[in-house]
Amino acid sequence: MSDKIRIGVLGATSYTGAELVRILAFHPNATITYVSSQSHAQERLSSIFPALSGINDDVLISPQDAQIRGDVDCVFSCLPHAVSASLILPVIERGIKVIDLSADFRLKNPDIYKAWYKTEHPAPKLLEKAVFGLCEHYRKEIANASIIANPGCYVTSVLLPLLPLYKNGASIEWIIADSKSGVSGAGRTLKLNTMFAEANENFSAYSIGHAHRHTPEIEQELGFAAGKPVTITFSPHLLPVNRGILSTIYIKTGLSAEKCAEIVKNFYTGEPFVRVREASDLPTVASVAHTNYCDITFTDGKDGRPVIAVSALDNLVKGASGQAIQNMNIMFGLTETTGLMR
């Protein structure tokens, strides 16, 4: 076992935490050293998630105990924002690699962080060191990083189709991303709107009108690729499925859908987890559920109407824990697909 990457998981009782454990349990080059949880410390992880019985029956340790552990090579944090940055500081200081699934290291500008998250950034000095973990676009930086800011789920679904266009110099007048996410995206905290009898047989928009926290993250990365500020209209919706995000993205550009598809397909040639499909073969949530794939198409709007990109991914896998493990594979020099093809 000594040559396996030794893993710690903070916030293991969240949905992303459980998904991480589920994938890592069968990863040939990783071993879970500890799982941690504030609210469930001293309980078995498999008593919280019976599905993990026989897969991981470890007793959860407290974050305080986790922070002082030196016997790990990589720590994944599935903690809430603000809490995450402050709890992983001591881990980073021990020289342990950190993959943070919270929003804490995604925004480069601490003022923008404060404006959207209503709190001072807990570790502004680390922002420069952190690498935005969108694997297909920051692979080289990820390989050498000590802290990864794992991208937001919606963010990944919007950036993957758009970034290659900007990087190719496409002129884009405006963008609207109408996104729909399964309920696990809202986390495991008890809230009325995600109760079964409220969310089932229902569908609704929320945080529309430049109000969702994934918006500045999308605009930052599009801006980096464009070399100038980019604004976007981003509208999230709550979809009555457990997993999956589908984004319908309207792009006002002089390019045809065919040309967009060609640029994006070329960009992702050889990428194991991005499937650029024919326009006749639109992505669906079911086709990517439980996988690390992101599927993408471009459809012509006809007669000057905007081009329509559709992308789909599993919010818990490519939108969170799968991409986090892809980042780990890159950081530790493993084949990028290790443990993720299933």
- Restricting to residues 124-163, name those near its own copies by CB under 8 A: none
Toward its own copies, which CB reaches closer, 137 or 180? 180
Which of 310, 313, 324, 331 is in the footprint of its own copies by CB under 8 A?
A: 310
First and final C-alpha spacing in the chain: 23
Rounded-to-integer distance, Cα 288 and Cα 90, Å: 36
Cα distances from 176 to residues 207, 209, 254, 295, in angstroms, run 14, 11, 16, 19
Which of 72, 172, 308, 313 is in the footprint of its own copies by CB under 8 A?
A: 308
- The least CB distance from residue 200 to its own copies, in Å, is 6
Q: Is 5 exposed, middle or buried (0-12, 13-18, 19+ CB in 10 A)?
A: buried
Query: By the 8 A CB rule, do 283 and 315 touch?
Result: no
Q: From residue 159 to residue 198, what is the string marking binding to its own copies with x (rule CB under 8 A)?
A: -----------------x-x-x-xxx-x-x-xxx-xxxxx
Rounded-to-integer distance, Cα 20 and Cα 325, Å: 8
Q: List the structure tokens of 272.
A: 């194991």
Sorted by sequence, the CB contacts under 8 Å of residue 222 that are 6+ apart come out as 159, 162, 163, 166, 175, 230, 232
Query: By the 8 A CB rule, do 326 and 298 touch?
Result: no
Size of the site for its own copies (CB under 8 A): 79
Beta carbons within 10 angstroms of residue 214's beta carbon: 23
- The least CB distance from residue 97 to its own copies, in Å, is 25
Catalytic status, residue 78: no
Toward its own copies, which CB reaches closer, 146 or 248? 248
97 binds its own copies (CB under 8 A): no
What 8-state DSSP symbol labels residue 271? -
Cα distances from 261 to residues 135, 230, 243, in angstroms, run 20, 21, 26
Toward its own copies, which CB reaches closer, 3 or 303? 303
- Restricting to residues 282-301, name those near its own copies by CB under 8 A: 282-291, 293, 295, 299-301
Q: Which of 78, 153, 260, 294 is catalytic?
A: 153
| C-alpha angle 139-224-101 in degrees, rounded to nearest 5 | 55
- Restricting to residues 12-51, name those near its own copies by CB under 8 A: 15, 25-26, 47, 49-51
199 binds its own copies (CB under 8 A): yes
Which of 43, 65, 120, 281 is in the footprint of its own copies by CB under 8 A?
A: 281
Toward its own copies, which CB reaches closer, 6 or 180? 180
- The least CB distance from residue 289 to its own copies, in Å, is 7
- Restricting to residues 206-265, name those near its own copies by CB under 8 A: 206, 208-210, 231, 233, 235, 237, 239-244, 246, 248, 250, 257
- The least CB distance from residue 327 to its own copies, in Å, is 20
Residue 331, H or E segment: helix 322-331
Q: List the structure tokens of 193.
A: 């709107």
Toward its own copies, which CB reaches closer, 250 or 332? 250
Toward its own copies, which CB reaches closer, 148 or 245? 245
Q: Is the dihedral of CA 103, 228, 277, 251 positive or negative?
A: positive
Residues tagged active-site = 153
